[in-house]
């Protein structure tokens, strides 16, 4: 048997996001954070305890972390905080927003539109703005994103959370694999084209999914690999089985 695998979900999701995906010859475990919308730094203690419990149960010395989206930031923060005492053999990042998500740069806009609509309720056009904002908020929530949550603020480009995380060295005795998605699905492709102006999965730009010197000061010393896939951001945990198996084999 190989090292146990822990699946770490992204913002607004839970262990159910993975649909109990299991890998042959590896015990599989699925964490659900108690607060799905917390700042990633505040989820590190919970991940640390979960890792310790898995190791106690399996009697192994290390784990493999497979992380989607914000879950990758939680795992990176864990490794940065416990650089010399971590218990991770390999970190597999599935579309993690290492430099943030440009879409969340506008996370305040729906609230602003709602306020404009409420103050201008005697007119049609402010109410129209309000309706747009409500649809925006609801559609985001249905995808698992609470736009004004601590998690969303943390994943904005140049957020204080990302600045501190990306200023820290990562342990060099861990294998790192980034699974990078460049989807050709039409609505997500349009986001890539007009908002990101580069490749991406419709939620996280390609350059943000990568680890680089911009996100890890000692990047050049890491054992790092990349795998390319073509999936929209929110379906990756359910459909990236082959990429995960490939990442485990590296």
| CATH number of the domain within which 67 lies | 3.40.50.1820
Regarding whether 28 and 90 lie in a shared domain, the answer is yes
| Domain annotation covers residue 148 | no
Regarding whether 87 and 25 lie in a shared domain, the answer is yes
What's the pLDDT at 83? 96
What's the pLDDT at 198? 83
The model's pTM is 0.88
What's the pLDDT at 193? 66
What's the pLDDT at 167? 98
Question: Total domain count for the chain?
Answer: 2
What's the pLDDT at 88? 99
What's the pLDDT at 146? 64
Tokens of 228: 């390319």
Rounded Cα distance, 175 and 75, in Å: 13
Regarding whether 176 and 87 lie in a shared domain, the answer is yes
| Domain annotation covers residue 24 | yes
Residue 175 CA: distances (Å) to CA of 93, 102, 141, 250: 11, 28, 34, 9
**CA 193, 196, 202: angle at the middle one, nearest 5?**
80
Regarding whether 181 and 71 lie in a shared domain, the answer is yes
Rounded Cα distance, 54 and 27, in Å: 9
b/e map of 67-100 (b: 16 or more CB within 10 Å)? bbbbbbbbbbbbbbeeeeebbbbbbbbbbbbbbb
Regarding whether 165 and 60 lie in a shared domain, the answer is yes
Q: Which domain holds residue 20?
A: 5-99+160-185+199-249
Greatest CA separation for the chain: 67
Rounded Cα distance, 122 and 99, in Å: 42
| Domain annotation covers residue 147 | no
Regarding whether 177 and 94 lie in a shared domain, the answer is yes
Rounded Cα distance, 234 and 202, in Å: 9
Tens digit of pLDDT at every position of the chain (250 positions):
799 999 999 998 899 999 767 788 899 999 999 999 899 999 999 999 999 999 999 999 999 999 999 999 999 999 999 999 999 999 999 999 999 987 776 665 666 666 666 666 565 566 666 666 566 666 666 666 666 788 888 999 999 999 999 999 999 999 999 999 998 876 766 666 666 778 888 889 999 999 999 999 999 999 999 999 999 998 999 999 999 999 999 8
| Domain annotation covers residue 154 | no
Rounded Cα distance, 43 and 34, in Å: 9
| Domain annotation covers residue 49 | yes
Rounded Cα distance, 79 and 238, in Å: 25
What's the pLDDT at 1? 73
Q: Is 26 helix (H, G, I), strand (E, B) or coil?
A: coil
Rounded Cα distance, 142 and 144, in Å: 5
């Amino acid at each position: 048997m190989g090292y146990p695998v822990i699946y770490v979900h992204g913002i607004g999701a839970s262990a159910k996001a993975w649909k109990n995906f299991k890998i042959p010859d590896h015990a599989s475990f699925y964490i659900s954070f108690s607060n799905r919308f917390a700042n990633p730094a505040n989820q590190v203690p919970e991940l640390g305890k979960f890792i310790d419990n898995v190791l106690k149960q399996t009697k192994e010395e290390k784990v493999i972390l497979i992380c989607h989206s914000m879950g990758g930031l939680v795992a990176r923060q864990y490794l940065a905080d416990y650089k010399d005492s971590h218990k991770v053999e390999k970190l597999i990042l599935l579309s993690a927003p290492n430099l943030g998500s440009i879409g969340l740069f506008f996370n305040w806009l729906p609230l602003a539109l709602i306020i404009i609509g409420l103050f201008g309720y005697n007119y049609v056009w402010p109410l129209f703005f309000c309706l747009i904002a409500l649809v925006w908020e609801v559609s985001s929530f249905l995808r698992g994103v609470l736009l004004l949550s601590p998690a969303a603020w943390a994943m904005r480009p140049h957020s204080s959370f990302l600045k501190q995380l990306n200023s820290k060295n990562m342990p060099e005795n861990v294998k790192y694999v980034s699974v990078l998605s460049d989807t050709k699905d039409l609505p997500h492709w349009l986001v890539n084209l007009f908002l990101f102006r580069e490749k991406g999965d419709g939620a996280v730009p390609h350059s943000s999914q990568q680890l680089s010197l911009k996100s890890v000061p000692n990047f050049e010393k890491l054992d790092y690999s990349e795998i390319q896939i073509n999936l929209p951001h929110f379906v990756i945990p359910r459909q990236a089985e082959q990429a995960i198996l490939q990442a485990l084999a590296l």
